[in-house]
Amino acid sequence: MRLERALDEYEKRKKKAEKEVEKVRKKYRKNLEKRIQEILKRINSLEKKDVPKNVDDKIKKIVTAEKKNYVTALRNALSSISDMEDLGKRLPDLARLHVGHGKYLLIIFEKDVYAINRLLKELNDEYMRYYNELGRKGLPNLRLRELLKEEEITRERIATAEKEKLKLEKELEAKKEELDEFYREHGLGELEANIKSLSSSLRTVEMEVRSKASKLQKPIKRMRLHEPIADELVRDSSVAIKKPDESISLLQRIYPRLDGKYKKTAQWLIENLKERADAIERERKRLSELERKRDEILAKGEAMKKEIWEIQRLIEEKEAEIRKLKRKLEHLEKELDENLAKLEDILGTKIER
């Protein structure tokens, strides 16, 4: 059977079942009123009865209080019952009253309490019959049309969200290409390559000079010259680059006191330090200028990068929305399958969606 036809058939049967259920409700409502009136008569009768005179005063006092509490609680519980649905809600309270009366009350007014308890049990039995009859006559409330509509809307929302995500992804690629083009036009790649090459070259020259100067730190320290430049050079070999003239002057004065490899190292520094230090200074200035130009380009590209980050954030939000919608769709499909299985049981036939 096709789904639409099955739904029409279900709704037709549901209306018929609702009429039958309403008949059941009316029938049991009338019976309920009679039973409640009968219990109230029993309660009124119990309330009017006095405790026998031969009962001990202490027990008499307890029984009187128990009777008052029992009667009041029962009246309150019964006064809130107007139909079988109310009865179902109050059955737990009535069950407690059924066994919760005082032991002295049961001893003194045994017949009355047992008669009331019997009527309360009959009320419980009546509700069970009502509940079972409703189950036979009624049909479960299947919300298939609502679920199908909700499923359709959810699928549409997923499709829309996926289109929006695709649009954002295309926009992101365009912005990235725009940023790459901006960097290409301003020669960022070449600048960074030059900075990398120049930085490497500078490190090589500086390491060469500092390596030579560090070899002379021990002999200079042993000479105890007590000169500022000598002390500085012993502490930090880069001083040779920072103060080449003073360093060369020092090396020229101590040269005669050096021997072997130290003399050879000092000779190299005396001959090459000034040239190397000047070259390092020039290259540092050049490197600084290149870095300044690179930073200017990157600063100008920062606005475009922020746009890219914002689009990426929107894509992540859209992905989270799609995941949430897909989870909802899974839940709806599961509920739909369960409702369809119930509908197939009701109609006794296989249903095609």
* pLDDT score at 101: 63
Residue 225 has a CB neighbour count (10 Å cut-off) of 17
The distance of Cα 206 from the centroid of its chain, to the nearest Å, equals 54
Distance CA 145, CA 7 (A): 8
pLDDT of residue 308: 95
Residue entry with tokens 């040269």: 255
Per-residue pLDDT band for 98 (boundaries 50, 70, 90) equals: low
Q: What number is the average pLDDT over the span 114-124?
A: 89
Read off the pLDDT of each residue in 83-91 and give the average, rounded to a whole number. 89
Instruction: Report the percent of the chain where pLDDT is more than 70.
Output: 99
Q: Give the residue-averaged pLDDT of 131-147.
A: 84
Q: What is the pTM of this model?
A: 0.58
Q: How many CB atoms lie within 10 A of CB 145?
A: 13
Residue type, 316: E
pLDDT of 195 higher than 90: yes
- Three-state secondary-structure class, residue 352: strand
Instruction: State the CB neighbour count (10 A cutoff) for residue 40.
Output: 15
Domain ranges of the chain: 3-139, 148-344
DSSP H or E stretch at residue 99: helix 84-100
Note the pLDDT of residue 113: 87
pLDDT of 272 reads 94
310-321 average pLDDT score: 97
What integer pLDDT is reported at residue 201 of this predicted model?
93
Give yes or no for residue 223 having a pLDDT over 80.
yes
CA distances from 234 to 153, 210, 321 (A): 80, 11, 65
CA distances from 66 to 47, 159, 290 (A): 11, 69, 100
Phi then psi for 352, rounded to 5 degrees?
-100, 130
Residue type, 156: E
> Is the pLDDT at 268 greater than 90, yes or no?
yes
pLDDT tier, 99 (very low <50, low <70, confident <90, very high otherwise): low
What is the rounded distance in angstroms from the CA atom of residue 122 to the CA atom of residue 154? Answer: 50
Q: Judging by beta carbons within 10 Å of its beta carbon (0-12, 13-18, 19+), is residue 282 exposed, middle or buried?
A: exposed
Q: Tell whether the model's pLDDT for residue 318 goes beyond 90.
A: yes
Residue 288: its pLDDT value, please?
94
Nearest of 20, 11, 23, 329 to residue 141 by alpha carbon: 11
Cα-based distances in Å from 221 to 155, 224, 234, 302: 82, 6, 6, 51
pLDDT at 104 over 80: no
Record the tokens describing residue 88, joined without a space: 């179902």
The pLDDT confidence band at residue 102, using thresholds 50, 70 and 90, is low
Contacts by 68-71 with C-beta closer than 8 Å and gap 24+?
69/102, 70/46, 70/97, 70/101, 70/102, 70/105, 70/113, 71/43, 71/46, 71/47
Alpha-carbon torsion (322, 328, 334, 337), positive or negative: negative
Q: What is the pLDDT of residue 2?
A: 87
Q: Name the percent of the chain lying above pLDDT 90.
A: 56
Neighbours of 197 (CB within 10 A): 10
> For the residues 41-55, what does the mean pLDDT come to?
88
- Average pLDDT, stretch 253-263? 90
pLDDT at 286: 94
pLDDT averaged over every residue in the chain: 90
DSSP secondary structure letters along 7-59: HHHHHHHHHHHHHHHHHHHHHHHHHHHHHHHHHHHHHHHHHHPPPPTTS-HHH
